[in-house]
Amino acid sequence: MPGIENLEPKLVWKHFDEIRKIPRCSKHEERIREYIVNFAQNQGLKTKVDHVGNVVVLKPATPGMENKPTVVLQGHMDMVCEKNSDVTFDFSKDPIQLKITGDLLTANGTTLGADNGIGLAISLAILEDTTVRHGPIESLYTIDEETGLTGAFAMKPDMLTGKIMLNLDSEDFGVITVGCAGGGDSTLELPIHMQPVLGGSEHIVVKVFGLRGGHSGVDIHEQRGNAIKILTRLLWKASQKCDFFIFDVKGGDKHNAIPREAYAKLALETKNKNSFVTELKAEEKDIYEEIKPIDPGFKVDVQSCDPPKTTLDKPSQTKLLNLVHGLPHGVHQMNYDIKTLVNTSTNLATISMKENAVVIGMSSRSPMKSALQDMRDRIRAIASLSGATVSEGTPYPGWKPDLQSKILALSKKIFKDMFKQEPKIEAIHAGLECGIIGEKFPGMDMISIGPTLKNPHSPEEQLHISTVGKFYNFLLKVLEAV
């Protein structure tokens, strides 16, 4: 792309430019793994690839620094693949299209993939850079961080020898992250019964769109609109005065992204259409007034659509609307000690229909196992009222802050020396692989750091270019000083 080759540090941007061309949606990391392994071999570096596809690249110490402790640089190979509905893009083959606007690097209607592509690029640049002074490095690249942390879960004890880890998956330069939330998914299935379409009906699709979406951990406190919840609210309210029959519903497609778009397809008698649209538009206006400070792009559209063969019967539809309208979404509890930190939340992430059921996906987070399980229990309790079944994914652990960490103390000192200000020390309400890796490798001294990235997991993802060079230079100083 014109312009990116002129950015500094050149090695970092060279690798990022290559990475953005490589398809790497979660669970499809084959080509990015091949790129990393081939790169390492060309550099004369040893690699390990484990049974699930995680990669470790080993770089020997700079001569004279062999006795320094081994440092693990860690990032994940996959990215969240999200696009706006009006964008034609195939994540399985198309390169991410980049745009530079001032200090911001974005994509064109898709996720940028800087989460965690910029972390990969930075670590690869360090592996290639012969001017860097450091002890032994193990550069770890995991699979499937975004949809289940399965790469980290699958790691064996012989994968790493280092006891210091720098996770490169944080998104705020000047912040050192020392803790994160754990989490777990819940999948609800509501049995439904279908009936023949009533005669004399019209068929419409109601679509909610234009919402910002975002990361269901780091953005959940902003109370951005949830397209599934808004769509359900519209239909629930309209159902109190109008008769209609749902025959399809869909929204969201990632457990860790706040859903930006959702739609429902309905059949209704022609005589009821005007009153239905009137009710819908009145509620849309109220919702817009409620969320316009955070989601000014919110819109509702009503269009004709192809007729179905069947629709939900009335009891199934009532159960569905009551269930989704009643399910929790958003912040449940703030942290008592750190007033600005979310403690417990849940994301109503996805909804879809299959032959005999509506499937709803939810993702809950908390650093406390008991609070996380309580949130999942609440979901199960609400589901039981409608006759829905619930299956729960394996929860992943949180990461408890260690404020006496040696790598934290060293990094704080170097940051202050370089930038003449103290870094912020924070825990985040999102899942990082540090929690799992810390459990698997007891005694691992860890921090999470990175350049500034805004709105990950959405097409509004923005990488702040000027922070990349600053972060790279900071990281080099840390590696030299360990």
CATH-assigned architecture of domain 4-181+398-481: 3-Layer(aba) Sandwich (3.40)
Q: What percent of the chain has pLDDT over 70?
A: 100
> What does the block give as tokens for 141?
């690249």
| Residue range(s) occupied by CATH 3.40.630.10 in the chain | 4-181+398-481
Mean pLDDT of 170-176: 97
**Cis before 456? omega within 30:** no
CA 320 vs CA 81, 230, 328, 385: distances in Å: 28, 14, 14, 11
| DSSP H or E segment with residue 205 | strand 201-209
Task: Flag the least confident range among 114-123, 175-184, 198-207, 351-360.
Answer: 198-207
From the candidates 29, 78, 261, 295, give the one annotated as an active-site residue.
Answer: 78
Share of the chain above pLDDT 90, in %: 93
Q: Report d(CA 423, CA 412) in Å as an integer.
A: 6
Indicate if 145 belongs to the active site: yes
End-to-end, the C-alpha distance of the chain in Å comes to 36
Taking 90 as the threshold, does the pLDDT of residue 193 lie above it? yes
DSSP structure string for 300-350? EEEEE----SEEE-HHHHHHHHHHHHHS--EEEEE-SSSTTSEEEEEEEEE
CA distance 26 to 147: 7
Give the mean model confidence (pLDDT) for residues 33-55.
Answer: 99
Are residues 46 and 56 in contact, defined by beta-carbon separation less than 8 angstroms?
no
Q: Which of 82, 115, 144, 145 is catalytic?
A: 145
CA atoms of 76 and 147, how far apart (whole Å): 11
Quick one: pLDDT at residue 252? Answer: 96
pLDDT in tens, 426-445: 999 988 999 999 999 999 99
Cα distances (Å, whole numbers) of residue 290 to 184, 287, 293, 389: 30, 5, 8, 33
Mean pLDDT of the chain: 96
Categorize the per-residue pLDDT at 1 as very low, low, confident or very high, splitting at 50, 70 and 90: very low
CATH architecture of structural domain 184-392: 2-Layer Sandwich (3.30)
The confidence score (pLDDT) of residue 76 equals: 99
Cα-trace Rg, the chain: 24
Residue 199 has pLDDT above 80, yes or no: no
Residues of the chain with CATH 3.30.70.360: 184-392
Q: Which residue has the higher pLDDT, 388 or 400?
A: 388
What 3-state class would DSSP assign to 399? strand
* Alpha-carbon span 479 to 482, nearest angstrom: 6
Count of beta carbons in the 10 Å neighbourhood of residue 342: 23
| DSSP output for 45-66 | -EEEE-TTS-EEEEEPPPTT-T
Structure-token pair, residue 345: 């939340």
Instruction: Report, as an integer, the average pLDDT of 295-299.
Output: 98
Q: What is the pLDDT of residues 87-128, one digit of tens each?
A: 999 999 999 999 999 999 999 999 999 999 999 999 999 999
Both tokens assigned to 348: 């109503």
Active site residue 86: no
**435 has which bridge partners?**
none
Q: List helix spans (H) across 76-194.
A: 114-128, 150-154
Residue-level pLDDT at 2: 54
Please state, as a whole number, how many other Cβ atoms lie within 10 Å of the Cβ of residue 315.
Answer: 11
